Structure 1
Amino acid sequence: MSELLGLIVEARPLQAHFRIPHTSLLLDTYPFPPKTTAVGMLAGVMGYPPDSYFRLLREVNYGVIIEDQGERIEEISAIYKNPHSPLYPITKVSLYKPHFRMFFTGPEEFIERAYEALLDPKFVPYLGDSESLFYPASPGYVKLVEVKHGKEKTLRSILPANVEVESVDVFRKRILAPKEYEVPVAFVYRGKHRRAVYRRFLAFSGVVIRLKEPIDVMLFDGEPVFTF
C-alpha cells in the first residue's frame, strides 16, 4: 500500500459551537467540527484567501474522532427591534470543553504547510463561530504521521450514515449515543450566491462501533479513520 502524509490535530476548546443550519429560535450545534469548519480553520491559520478555501474542500480529506463531547450549555438572549415589537428569545447551544482529534490528508506540500501554520498561525484559529477559539488539547497537539489506505470494521471515528452496524461497545461512563446528522461538506456557487452540499454521518463518542462489513479507511500511524 502506498504511503501518504497525514496531519493529526487535537483540540480541546473551552467552548465550541458548530451551528446546525435551518434553525432560528434554537441555534443548535453539531457534536463535532464539520469538514467546512475544520478545513476553514487550516485555511485561516495559513492565511489563505476565501477562494482558495473552497478549492481546499475538494482537495483535502478529513475525519474526526470525538474523544469527549463535552457538556451542552445554553445561552438565552432576545432580539429587540423597537418598543412595539415582541421580544423573541433565542437559545444558543454550545459545547463546554469538548475534545476532538481531527485527521487530514491531501497534497503533501499543503499538509506540511498546515502543520507549520498551526505552530505559528497567521490569524487566530477558531473552531466554530467567533466565540469558539481553538485551544490545544496537549503540548503535542499537532503532528505529522504516515498514512496508508486500508479496510476496517471496528472504528471510533464518525462514519457514513449508511453503514450496517453489528455492535456498539461502551468503553466509558459518559457517552454520546450514535446518531445521524446531516452535515455540510462543500459549497456550490452560482454567481455571488452559494449553496451548501450536505452528507449524512453517524456521530458518537465513548463507544466503539463494529460494522457488519469492513469499509475503506485511512490508517493514521495505524489508527483507522473514515475520511471524506
Structure 2
Amino acid sequence: MKKLLYVEIYGRMAHFRKVFTNSTSLSYYFPPRTTVMGIVAAVSGKERDSYYKELDALDYAIEALTPLKKLVFGENYLDTDSVNVKKFRGVGNRVPITKEFIVASKGDFLGYGLYMTYNKEIEEAFKSPKYPLALGTAEMLGWIEKVSVEECEEVKDLSGKSVYGALPASFSVEAGTVITLEYGMPRRFEEGRMSGKLHNYFFPSDGSAVKVKSGEAEGVRCGNKHLVFL
C-alpha cells in the first residue's frame, strides 16, 4: 500500500505556459510536474530555487475534476524592440500576441485533483498555505476545497484498466474517449532551472477515464480509480 495526500484545487481559469513557446503564450491542459512542485513549494513557503531536489523525490498524479476547454485570445503588445517615447505611447505598429487559457466547459469554475506522496508538513501547508495558490500565473488565483489522506495500492501494469488523469502517450488506449495529446512537458528542473527532457502525455480533458489496452508505468489504485504518476 502507498499513502498519498489528495488535494482538490479549483479556480476560475488557468494558464500553464508551454516551455517551447516564445512570442505566443500557449497553455497545457494541466500543470506539468514542475508546476505542481511549484504549487507545493508556494503553499509550504519555500524560497525560489530551494526545493527542486526535495520535491522531486515525491510522486505526483493529476486528474481533471471538471470538463475543460481552451479559450484563445489575441492581444496587441507595445513594440519595444527600439526604445523611444512614440513606441511607449503605442504610436506605430504593435505586436500581436496569442494567448491560451484553460476554463471549465461546464459551470463557472475548473478543478483538478492532485495526488502526491504523503508528507505531514505538506498536508498542513495545504490546510494553511503560506503563499496564495496560483493556477499557473500569479493573477489566476485558485483555492483548496479538500485535503485528505488516501491509502492506495501500487500498480505497474495498467493494461485493461480505466485510468483517470494524465498518462504517458506511450500507452495504447481504446478509441471512444475524448483525450488530448499534450507534448513537450517537463518533469523536473535540471541545472540552471532548465526543463531537461520533455515528455508526452494523454489527458482526458472531459474528466472521464481512459481505457488502456496496454501500458506499464508507476501508478496506483485509489478506491475505484487508477492513476499514473507524472
Question: TM-score, structure 2 length as denominator?
Answer: 0.81
Matching residue of 2:23: 25
Hey, what does 1:204 align to over in structure 2?
A: 204
Deviation at 1:222, TM superposition (A): 4.4
TM-aligned CA deviation for residue 70 of structure 1: 4.3
CA contact (8 A) 1:156 1:205 kept: no
1:122 aligns to what? 130
Q: 2:187 aligns with which of 170, 174, 185?
A: 185
1:201 alignment partner AA: Y
Do the aligned partners of 1:70 and 1:98 also contact (CA within 8 Å) in 2?
no
The residue aligned with 1:173 is none
How many residues of Structure 1 are paired with residues of Structure 2 in the alignment?
Answer: 210
Percent sequence identity is 25
Query: What do you get for the CA RMSD once the two structures are aligned?
Result: 2.1
Structure 2 gap segments, 5+ residues each? 104-108
- 8 Å CA contact retained: 1:167, 1:211: no
Assess if the C-alpha contact under 8 Å between 1:158 and 1:201 holds in 2.
Answer: yes
Matches for 1:12-161 after TM superposition, within 5 Å = 12-67=10-65, 68-74=67-73, 76-81=75-80, 82=84, 83=86, 86-96=93-103, 97-105=109-117, 108=118, 111-136=119-144, 138=145, 141-150=146-155, 151-152=157-158, 153-161=161-169
Paired residue for 2:221, among 213, 219, 222? Answer: 219
What displacement does 1:63 show? 1.0
Alignment correspondent of 2:106? none
Q: What SS class does the counterpart of residue 12 from structure 1 fall into? A: strand
State the AA in 1 paired with 2:28: Y
Q: Using structure 1 for the length normalisation, give the TM-score.
A: 0.82
Specify which of 5, 8, 25 is matched with residue 7 of structure 1.
5
**Cα–Cα, structure 1 residues 130 and 145, in superposed 2: closer, same or farther, change >3 Å?**
same
Higher strand share: 1
Where in structure 1 do 4 or more consecutive aligned residues deviate above 6 Å? none
- Compared CA separation, residues 144 and 52, structure 1 to 2 (3 A): farther
Instruction: Tell which deviates more after alignment, 141-150 or 89-98.
Output: 89-98
| Unmatched segments (≥5 aa) in structure 1 | 170-175
The answer as to whether partners of 1:8 and 1:145 remain within 8 angstroms in 2 is yes
User: 1:154, 1:77 → 2: CA distance?
Assistant: 44
Question: Are the equivalent residues in 2 in contact too, given 1:168–1:208 (CA < 8 A)?
Answer: no
Q: Shift in Å at residue 101 of structure 1?
A: 0.9
Residue 205 of structure 1, CA deviation:
2.3
2:132 and 2:169 map into 1 onto residues whose CA distance is: 33
